[in-house]
Chains A and B, each alone.
Chain A
Amino acid sequence: AQSVTQLDSQVPVFEEAPVELRCNYSSSVSVYLFWYVQYPNQGLQLLLKYLSGSTLVKGINGFEAEFNKSQTSFHLRKPSVHISDTAEYFCAVTRDDKIIFGKGTRLHILP
């Protein structure tokens, strides 16, 4: 069975510093990968997705992620965070129409 591991439940980072949110999945076959963001008291919003093609995927709000098949990872990065990036971030993987979400990583932006 496939699974998604978000290695950090919380990540504190200073404003304007870079951030990486880690995601690893377990699957021996091709998968589709997603990152969603959930701002306080809101639903999940799609940040970016990897379906095929280039392994570097650019999303909204300056985020990007790199699909690494050999390391089964799909880490999310942003070169410079803002206070408005305070949110919970979910990595998800789909295969055969089933989607599995990671437990989420809370990004805390420190002034």
Chain B
Amino acid sequence: DSGVTQTPKHLITATGQRVTLRCSPRSGDLSVYWYQQSLDQGLQFLIQYYNGEERAKGNILERFSAQQFPDLHSELNLSSLELGDSALYFCASGRLDRGTDTQYFGPGTRLTVL
């Protein structure tokens, strides 16, 4: 158990819909990272937040957005869903160690878009 929690574990929805994925980082970790994992694209970094502020952006679509709240939990919002958005979405929380974050991953949310 990494100490990172994600809800829900599974999500099934239809094209065009909007969903929100939630992540709670490990106690004391200030960074939250979001990733998408699919069979064809592999593990793709989406976005990072640090103490409430956006820190880095990866391959995140404009239809997707995220935020980190004062209690440090984070939400990833996916809108106008398409079939290709079906994937595993992971969040990771990061702790600074000798100049870099070590990331600890949550169990993931499996999103299925029908």
Chain A residues near B (Cβ < 8 Å): 32, 34, 36, 42-46, 49, 51-52, 90, 94, 97-101, 103-104
Contact = CB atoms under 8 A, between A and B. Distances in A.
A100 B42 CA distance: 11
B55 A97 contact: yes
Interface residues of B, number: 23
A2 B98 CA distance: 20
B105 A45 contact: yes
B97 A45 contact: no
B48 A97 contact: yes
Contacts, number: 51
Contact of B105 (A32, A43, A51, A104): A43
Interface string B68-97: 000000000000000000000010100001
A43 B43 contact: no
A51 B97 contact: yes
A97 B48 CA distance: 10
A49 B94 CA distance: 14
Given A52-B98, A94-B101, 20 more contacts: A34-B102, A34-B103, A43-B4, A43-B107, A43-B108, A44-B43, A44-B92, A45-B2, A46-B102, A46-B103, A49-B102, A51-B97, A51-B99, A90-B43, A94-B100, A97-B101, A98-B56, A99-B103, A101-B45, A103-B42
A101 B55 contact: no
